Amino acid sequence: MHQPDSRLHDARTTAAPPDEPARSGWLSEVSGAFGDLGVLIPFVTAYLAIVGMAPQSVLVPIGLASIAAGLWFRTPFPVQPMKLIGASVVLYSQAGIAMTPEVVVAAGLFTGVTWLALGLAGLAERFSAWIPREALLGVVMGLGFGFMLEGLRTMSAQPWAGAATLAIALVLLSRPAIPTMLVLLAGGVGASLLADPAPAIAALAAPSWTLPAFAWPTLSWRAIEVGVLLLALPQLPLTFGNALFAVVDENNRRFPAHPTNERVVALSTGAMNVVSSALGGIPLCHGAGGMAAQTRFGARSGRAPVILGVTLLALGLVFADAVAALFALVPPAVLGAILFLAGLQLALGSREPGGEKVDRFVVLATAGIAVWHAGLAVLFGVLAHHATRRGWIRL
């Protein structure tokens, strides 16, 4: 019988007792619906501000996937941007490699087709046995470092404001009830509005119906090559742990009345990425940390992701121009602080207490390579792990 993988699962959540059956008031569900904004906002901000993706193409697929997840799983089943792909997009852009919306769409399409195939064939569990924990931890740590460096580089355009923003954010992070990323975003936009409110007011005053464009016909072979090799393939092994086995374990432990399994989650991951890529959106997954965040803020049923989904759907379909105008107002100090904190959370999420010397070597060496190239880091981590286990590398 398969034991759920917990290689990237937060130990704090495993220590928590199971929640009561999913019955709570609407106020708690609304609070829980937005409990995972700390992950959503940084990556959406990066895709809009750095890659230049259309707001409706990013928000509408996330909204549709969140609604579908809430209705199907009937628990606070999260929908999140794929972290490794999102972080890699930022780092490759910094290195001068063109990360266009078409490249992101190609990565999502390949990801969707791959997970549908794995789910239909029942191969997800078998493949995961070949992915060592140390390689995954090293990649996440390295990308976290890279995200932090990009945040620092962005903040350098407004160093004093950036330092002050970061200091305020670190204070807010000590208060879990405060959505720090949302506060930062609102504060930065508010400061810019005080200086020049006309563009945003005009966009808000004139809502318009905006549909995402069908994105597949615009894909080039070059975009597919870059999206698959640099983004989708490195993300694949990471998804096995946190976004497949860990989220199944989290759901079944907290909500035993609504169990699920790895095959269903794999198929869900594939389906929502195919739809997202068709609409020009970003690669998505189901992260275990997202469920923990939503339940911590009061979510106990599928109503929470449905509420979030309807909100994002309305923003994407009716207020896309306003969203674009507001994100354009985010000052470099605030954008940099958001990226820095996102990287910090990635790096902290890779922590693994204890471990032998060879394991620490694999983690840290993989992390160093991941700052340069995530795909090579995964390959190195896998090879180094098996080499140390066979005694080919001795420290």
Of the candidates 346, 321, 324, 338, the one whose C-alpha atom is nearest the C-alpha of residue 182 is 338
The count of other CB atoms within 10 Å of the CB of residue 72 is 15
Q: Does some domain include residue 395?
A: no
In a domain, 235, yes or no: yes
| 74 conformational bin, left if phi > 0, alpha if psi -120 to 50, beta if neither | left
Residue 228 counted as domain residue: yes
- Structural domain count of the chain: 1
Summarize pLDDT for 220-258 with one digit per residue, the tens.
999 999 999 999 988 887 787 667 877 888 899 889 999
pLDDT tens track for 265-298: 999 999 999 999 999 999 999 977 778 778 877 7
Structural domain span for residue 136: 11-16+25-352
The answer as to whether 384 is a domain residue is: no
In a domain, 233, yes or no: yes
Residue 108 lies in a domain: yes
Residue 299 burial by Cβ neighbours in a 10 Å radius (0-12, 13-18, 19+): buried
Question: Which residues touch 152 (CB under 8 Å, ≥6 apart)?
Answer: 336, 340
pLDDT tens for 167-188 read 888 777 666 667 777 788 788 8
Query: Are 287 and 349 contacting, i.e. CB atoms less than 8 angstroms apart?
Result: no
Decide if 256 is inside a domain. Answer: yes
For the segment 63-107, what is each residue's pLDDT rounded down to a tens digit?
999 999 999 999 999 999 998 898 888 878 877 788 999 999 999
Question: 367 lies in a domain?
Answer: no
> What residues pair up with 284 in beta bridges, in sequence order?
81
- 0.95 surpassed by pTM: no
In order, the DSSP letters of 203-245 are: HHHS----PPPP-GGG--HHHHHHIIIIIIHHHHHHHHIIIII
